Chains A and B, each alone.
Chain A
């Protein structure tokens, strides 16, 4: 057992309407204990930066300026050091949508939250259980049946001091409704953030989703986005990961209805010495579902990327179409990529494909471009950023796309080839 986990278990005594879920999570944490070194889920991602940490949460936090996404007219909800600093009840929320704090006294709202909290996210994620037990600051977004909400909701996690932050987002999109949710996290100071989001998407609902896991440096992030899809639900998700001392993102997409369509594009750009780990699991439990997942990353010197992409097609999930692809570029011999696409198929009438590739810099192409006077950084971007640019071009929201393209190409241009 680690000192940190022991302190987490000791601290977890919150007696609110979520207590039953919190208690279950706590029991499982106690029973499972700290993951052994050989634990498959953490095999390439050492938890040493957390193991001996002091588990301490912020009591309060000051509001910090949040960098804008130009031309994006979004509703911003901000957590600083795990504390919700936005006055939720003063927000101007579009018709058909409601946004409430997880701390509320309304029985119906509590009931709605309880139907999702800890219900969409599988219990195998240790830090998800920690979040279940300890999270005191969270928000609930509810979109009523048929409501087409164009205004994106942006949820920002920022870290500014050396504490543990546990934040939660619970989203219910009802029948035929649509919404856009952006989860964004950043900070580089010594800190730990567990930010988990659960999405319950009803029949014919549509969700446009973004997760920008941009913590760097000493900021440890252990988070997840988890989705439950029903009949004809469509999900379009774009994720961007930077690396830090310890960065892990778990994604689960559960096809619990027929004809659901999930598209997920993930990009990771890891600068020197950074670690980023993306674990995704797609459960096809029902027939006629579609999944397309593209994860593409560039790994800098002494950086490490871990990708584990699992697609599980259950016996009844006939006519499933599922594709999973992971492409990587290594900028240095000292960079490491551990990639593992997994297909597990129990139905006999499905179409599935998966693949993973790791490439290195083409020295000859680079030399050729340099002899034409093109700068090294520009040549590297032209040669190697195309496969990332393709996913950026795929971002449905124009403002987000135009914000993302330059910051990612800039980050790449600053990564050194060694």
Chain B
């Protein structure tokens, strides 16, 4: 599904990703953990194609296509979904209009007819209920005035509606209380179907109690320095990132 080889990327001429390798197969859940500043969020931005994130070396293929050659919207239409750590507020564009437009962009990609307003409304209402957001959130501006937890749930709602092939969840657990965390995790788990893959980027092990990863990777200084199964996350939880060396202990402090 996704194959990243020796990826190097920089932001404002500062190297952040320094030789990252990662293989994600259909249906797998990969957790990426790591200290602050390791490049966790940068990875999501680079894969989604954000402006200003320059790839200097390496490759990334997604379903056989050269991901790095595609525009941001083309990557999304190929089935790459990024759930933002800090979802953007867009006053003036309703959540409904926003999601209908994106769902129909995906449908067009698959050669399907666009949904009518009524058809879309039905789907949106179901998704809205699933992530336990009040229905009037559909009418409000995108993320406008939403609390942190509501924004995260809105991201999961979009994920459910867009039916992507690969979901990158960028710290979808940050700032959530236990109940909200459960809603987000349930939303994600409902989308696990043996085909859809997930990259769960998180600082804490907590989310992984709810979303069971197949693999856990530790990202430090722009590379994956250790990989293992779910037990690696528990190890990190217990003893922190101390094993990475002194510099990271300080970063954590």
CB-nearest residue of chain B to A378: B101
Give the chain A neighbours of B75 by CB distance below 8 A.
371
Complex formed: what's the CA distance from A205 to B169 in Å? 63
Complex formed: what's the CA distance from A372 to B76 in Å? 6
B18-66 interface with A by 8 A CB criterion: 48-51
Q: Number of residue pairs across A and B with beta carbons under 8 Å?
A: 67
Task: Verify if A374 is at the interface (C-beta below 8 Å from B).
Answer: yes
CB-nearest residue of chain B to A363: B51
The reply to whether A371 and B82 contact each other, CB–CB distance below 8 Å, is yes
Task: Verify if A368 is at the interface (C-beta below 8 Å from B).
Answer: yes
Give the chain B neighbours of A362 by CB distance below 8 A.
90
Task: Verify if B109 is at the interface (C-beta below 8 Å from A).
Answer: yes
The reply to whether B84 and A368 contact each other, CB–CB distance below 8 Å, is yes
Interface size (B, Cβ < 8 Å)? Answer: 29
| Cβ proximity bits B72-111 to A, threshold 8 Å, 1 near / 0 not | 1101110001101001101011000111011001100100
**Interface secondary structure of A, over-half rule:** helix
Task: Verify if A369 is at the interface (C-beta below 8 Å from B).
Answer: yes
Complex formed: what's the CA distance from A378 to B93 in Å? 12
Task: Verify if B158 is at the interface (C-beta below 8 Å from A).
Answer: yes
Which one, B73, B76, B93, contacts A383 given CB within 8 A?
Answer: B93
Task: Verify if A376 is at the interface (C-beta below 8 Å from B).
Answer: yes
Give the chain A neighbours of B71 by CB distance below 8 A.
370, 376
Which one, A368, A375, A376, A382, contacts B87 given CB within 8 A?
Answer: A368
Task: Verify if A65 is at the interface (C-beta below 8 Å from B).
Answer: no
A317-375 interface with B by 8 A CB criterion: 362-365, 367-375
Task: Verify if B160 is at the interface (C-beta below 8 Å from A).
Answer: no
The reply to whether B106 and A364 contact each other, CB–CB distance below 8 Å, is no
Task: Verify if B162 is at the interface (C-beta below 8 Å from A).
Answer: yes
CB-nearest residue of chain A to B164: A373
CB-nearest residue of chain A to B143: A368
Of the candidates A371, A374, A379, A386, the one having the most CB atoms from chain B within 10 angstroms of its own CB is A371
CB distance from A387 to the nearest CB of B (A): 8
Which one, B51, B73, B142, contacts A373 given CB within 8 A?
Answer: B73
Which one, B48, B88, B102, contacts A374 given CB within 8 A?
Answer: B102
25 contacts between A and B (CB under 8 A): A362-B90, A365-B88, A367-B72, A369-B90, A369-B98, A370-B73, A371-B72, A371-B73, A371-B75, A371-B76, A371-B81, A371-B82, A372-B99, A372-B102, A372-B158, A373-B77, A373-B102, A373-B109, A374-B98, A374-B102, A375-B73, A375-B105, A376-B71, A382-B97, A386-B93
Q: Measuring CB to CB, which residues of chain A are less than 8 angstroms from any residue of chain B?
A: 362-365, 367-376, 378-379, 382-383, 386-387
5 closest residue pairs by CB, A with B: A372-B102, A373-B76, A370-B72, A373-B105, A368-B88
With A374-B105, A379-B73, A382-B97 already in contact, 18 other A-B pairs whose C-beta atoms are closer than 8 Å: A363-B51, A365-B88, A365-B90, A367-B50, A367-B51, A368-B87, A368-B142, A370-B73, A372-B99, A372-B105, A372-B158, A372-B162, A373-B76, A375-B105, A378-B105, A382-B93, A383-B90, A387-B92
